[in-house]
Amino acid sequence: MRVKGCGLIVVMLLLGMVTLAVAAAEPIKIGVVSPLGDITGRQSTRAMQLAVEEINAAGGVLGRPLELIIIDDEMNPAKGAAAIDLLATQHNVDVFIGGMGSGVHLAQIPRLKIYEKVTVWIGAASSLAEQALEGCDWYFHIHPWDYLQGASYVVGWAAIQEEYPMIRIKKAFWAYEEGAFGASSYQGSLVAHADWENTGMSFKSAIVGGGDYRAVLRHAKDVNPDIFIWVGYDADALPIMEQAREIGFTPPLFVGSPPGWPADFGKSPLAEGVILYGMWAPSIKEVSPVSKHFWDAYIARWNEEPATYFAPLGYTNVYVVAQAIERAGTLEKAALIAALEATEYESPIGETLTFTPSNIIKHQGFQGQKILQWQDGRQEVLWPFEFATALPRYPFRWR
């Protein structure tokens, strides 16, 4: 027994020495730019921190610890662009990750082109950003572009209508925030859903000082669509629902398409039956062991539930970069790009991430989103059917 005890002490000492050695090594610096005042940015960066802690606890990467250097872009394009300069010049980061808003990213791209550091981005759905990145082979995009999302929705809604004949969509109304994210999403949707009778109107998002959606909602009520879809941010979710109920607007399909939802949105009776687009839902943990690990680890670390798909995207962001550096065996740019191109990462999103060409860039990750619905306070997957966790509740009714 004493011999076994001594062996255990030796192993513990060796592990401690490895941990100390990793901690003492020069860190690999990863620069993060994200909107920390928004639930999407806050939870994605918390998920990144969780991933870094797991990786460093396991010995780091190439015997070196990862270090996140995080700057809040405040959803401000000028501040987002300045953050790239600061991370590149003062902090000399090795890789850029993070992101959320398309408008901010459009301001960052000219700065990224100056430094040409390897960039693995989880934000920005606007295809305007992709157009600005032509020929930038050091750039990897994880989130699907707006037209990829639109294509996935076309397939999804066609499948849902075939599976559930009581659901029929001929007329749509689009309410979209007036920035790059909303405007490009709307334009892409007009192309994707050309077989629908489409009407649209923009609004000023609450995230930039708006919050009165009544004019848009009254217009939508007059149109009487089969499906109403709003494209904005988490701050818009509850006031849109409150004002829609206030004016008696009850479309058969009420769809919200923000990148993240308020943490307690599901607890509101206004959430029941609302359909949403997203890459992930907490219910996916029931069909994906990787998602289950992420869910449990995130809650244990932060004492809150991940409420936005940008949380598992942030976690994925760090692991994809870390594994690529490990495969490359170096931070040398060409080797790291080649290693990223070989990515096959089983992500907590529930899908395996690889990079393939999209319309313009060489390295596009995920190809679409899922159609979900708020049911009894939970986000349930309606489509793709292989991920489905519930049947649709139709038509939408106010509780």
For residue 68, the surrounding DSSP H or E stretch is strand 66-72
Q: Would you place residue 346 in the very low, low, confident or very high pLDDT band (cuts 50, 70, 90)?
A: very high
pLDDT > 90: percent of the chain: 88
pLDDT (mean) for 99-109 = 96
Q: Report the distance separating Cα 88 and Cα 51, nearest Å.
A: 22
Handedness of CA 223, 224, 225, 228 (dihedral sign): positive
Q: Say yes or no to pLDDT of 60 above 80.
A: yes
Which long-range contacts link 245-249 to residues 24+ away (Cβ below 8 Å)?
245/270, 245/398, 246/214, 247/214, 247/217, 247/218, 247/221, 248/221, 249/217, 249/218, 249/220, 249/221
Does residue 165 sit in the same domain as residue 305? Answer: no
pLDDT (mean) for 320-327 = 99
Average pLDDT score, the chain: 94
Does residue 162 sit in the same domain as residue 245? Answer: yes
Amino acid in position 145: W
Contact 188, 213 (CB under 8 A): no
Q: Report the distance separating Cα 362 and Cα 146, nearest Å.
A: 16
| Residue 201 within any structural domain of the chain | yes
Q: Would you place residue 2 in the very low, low, confident or very high pLDDT band (cuts 50, 70, 90)?
A: very low
| Residue 375 within any structural domain of the chain | yes
| Pairing of the two strands 253-256 and 227-231 | parallel
Does residue 249 sit in the same domain as residue 195? Answer: yes
Q: Report the distance separating Cα 225 and Cα 365, nearest Å.
A: 33
| Model pLDDT, residue 114 | 99
Which among 345, 309, 356, 322 is positioned nearest to 122, based on CA atoms? 309
Which among 44, 139, 156 is positioned nearest to 101, based on CA atoms? 44
Backbone φ and ψ of 319, nearest 5°: -65, -40
Q: Report the distance separating Cα 251 and Cα 225, nearest Å.
A: 6
List the single range of 21-25, 68-72, 393-397 with lowest mean pLDDT: 21-25
Amino acid in position 104: V
Does residue 125 sit in the same domain as residue 188? Answer: no
Q: Report the distance separating Cα 129 and Cα 147, nearest Å.
A: 12
Contact 53, 63 (CB under 8 A): no
pLDDT (mean) for 160-182 = 96
pTM of this prediction?
A: 0.86
| Domain of residue 86, residue span | 22-144+285-368
Q: Report the distance separating Cα 246 and Cα 241, nearest Å.
A: 9
Q: Would you place residue 397 in the very low, low, confident or very high pLDDT band (cuts 50, 70, 90)?
A: very high
Q: Report the distance separating Cα 178 and Cα 253, nearest Å.
A: 23
Which pair of tokens denotes residue 34? 């994200």
| Residue 156 within any structural domain of the chain | yes
Which pair of tokens denotes residue 353? 């991430």
| Residue 393 within any structural domain of the chain | no
Does residue 118 sit in the same domain as residue 177? Answer: no
Q: Would you place residue 188 in the very low, low, confident or very high pLDDT band (cuts 50, 70, 90)?
A: confident
Does residue 339 sit in the same domain as residue 249? Answer: no
Q: Report the distance separating Cα 168 and Cα 318, nearest Å.
A: 41
Q: Report the distance separating Cα 295 and Cα 249, nearest Å.
A: 36
pLDDT (mean) for 229-245 = 97
| Residue 379 within any structural domain of the chain | yes
Please tell me what DSSP assigns to residue 356. B
Contact 126, 336 (CB under 8 A): no
| Model pLDDT, residue 19 | 52
Does residue 315 sit in the same domain as residue 182? Answer: no
Does residue 86 sit in the same domain as residue 165? Answer: no
| Model pLDDT, residue 15 | 41
Please tell me what DSSP assigns to residue 376. T
| Residue 399 within any structural domain of the chain | no
pLDDT (mean) for 43-63 = 99
| Pairing of the two strands 119-121 and 139-141 | parallel
Which among 349, 332, 281 is positioned nearest to 144, based on CA atoms? 349
As separate numbers, helices (DSSP H) first and strands (DSSP E) second, the chain gives 12, 14
Q: Report the distance separating Cα 61 and Cα 106, nearest Å.
A: 31
Does residue 260 sit in the same domain as residue 294? Answer: no
| Residue 7 within any structural domain of the chain | no
Does residue 220 sit in the same domain as residue 305? Answer: no
Q: What is the CATH number of the domain that holds 135?
A: 3.40.50.2300
| Residue 125 within any structural domain of the chain | yes
> Side-chain half-sphere of 363: how many Cα atoms within 13 Å?
22
Q: Say yes or no to pLDDT of 252 above 80.
A: yes
Does residue 224 sit in the same domain as residue 135? Answer: no
Does residue 258 sit in the same domain as residue 382? Answer: yes
| Model pLDDT, residue 97 | 99
Handedness of CA 51, 54, 55, 60 (dihedral sign): positive
For residue 132, the surrounding DSSP H or E stretch is none
For the chain, give percent helix, strand, coil, nearest 5.
Answer: 45, 20, 35
Total domain count, the chain: 2
